[in-house]
A and B are shown apart, each in its own frame.
Chain A
Amino acid sequence: MELIVNVLAATVVAGTPLLLVALGELICERSGVLNLGQEGMMLMGAVAGFAAALSSGSLLVGVVAAIVAGIGMSLLFAFMAVTLAANQYAAGLALTIFGTGLSAFLGAGFVGSSIEGFSRVAIPLLSDIPVLGRVFFDQDPLVYVSFIAFAGVALFLRYSRAGLLLRAIGEDPEAANANGLQVLLVRYLAVAFGGAMAGLAGAYLSLAYTPLWTENMTAGRGWIALALVVFATWRPERLILGAYLFGAASILHLVLQGLGWKSSTELLAMLPYLVTILMLVLLSWNPARTRLNTPLSLGQPYRPGC
């Protein structure tokens, strides 16, 4: 029982960075912009957060720096993909390659340093609930931030006027523009939100999950998050389930090793990537259903009056 609770708690921790970055990408894609640069923005968030926390001694400063770095990166992308109407695939790839290079360059001096990361804070009363209390309410503060972000995104999309406008722009920017909506401005904001969340997810890795910096420490999580949004058919409720499912897949090798199951670490480390492909297969084999759920203008640049 003790083991199961611990595994579930670790699953939530492993799923949190995925949830954070995928929530940002969900909003971005709902506005019709596909940003493949998640990995690059996360890495920049991770290195900026770690550097700022190390030099200031404050984890909060680190988190803010990570969010700022994520937004900065996303605005570069927005300039290319929204203002210059560049190919979104190429611009996103460029962002990832650029972010990978820049973060490795900036972080070269920080490899080997370590800091005291976020520690667990139990929420009074809620953490006393059997099992669920330990799993969800005895975690580090950024996990609670991810819950709030999830609730915020879900309510925003479903119940707010602004959420409706965002979805309208993602479905049909021409019609939205004809109705007087600022398509480009909204897309900029959506991309920036995605950047902020990716930065935060990066900070989660370098300040809470493993409080240190190594090159490429995101290990493809930004890409998995992109698959996760497809898996969730652009709906936040499914996204949170998916994030924890992937979280479970990524810690499975630790669990199995803990149980004394002898298998190669490298083979088990493939699991999250295999699960991602499997999920894509299960969800994509029916193209009609994919088309039904995808925001209609996803990936297509929009230039008013062109």
Chain B
Amino acid sequence: MISLIINGLEVSVEEGTTLLEAAKFLGFPIPTLCYMEGLSPYGACRLCVVEIGEGPKAKLVSSCTYPAEQGLRVRTASSRVVNARKMVLELLLATCPQSKVIQDLAAAHDVRQQRFKQEDEDCILCGLCTRMCEEQMMAKAIGFRGRGENRDLGTPFDVRSEECRLCGGCMYVCPACQLRCTYNEPERAVCGGCANLSPPCVEKDQFDDMMCYMDPCVACEQETE
């Protein structure tokens, strides 16, 4: 067992526990976006930053990937952490302003607007869908491609992959979910999951029309009829 101090409270956890799990155990809220129980932590969104260490050596780390260390002092809501988180949210908002998930997170952290050039991307490269596809669905049908500003997600050669079972898991976990948008071009569709899975706007009350990117939004239209 490893004991560490989170926000002044001492806690003992098993070796290999991440700071995020330890903080959750104590009940300290840490916002996450690319983290999901059952999937390997990835540390892509940086929303879960916490401050560790003391004095000038204190630094920000992503709590979802940082393993607990003996005697480590962790602060989950210091002003530095809060500022960093707000900045991350602003940047995410600039990348993907229409995402309801990001909008909700931003609102919850008092970020009302962002100061950057709006990109209107349909993906924040959080990697949730690839991990879902690989680790839970055992398919490995989609993955990262390219690098730098050309990095994107999809199937090899942009064609329907034989590994894909149309499970729709990738859309289900996607915080910026626009993957289903490609349904208009069946050949390029990642999985065509929208054809057999109702989109989140049907199931969850908090999603409004803004969430739906299908053109036309097939499933919802069927629902309203």
A, B: real partners = no
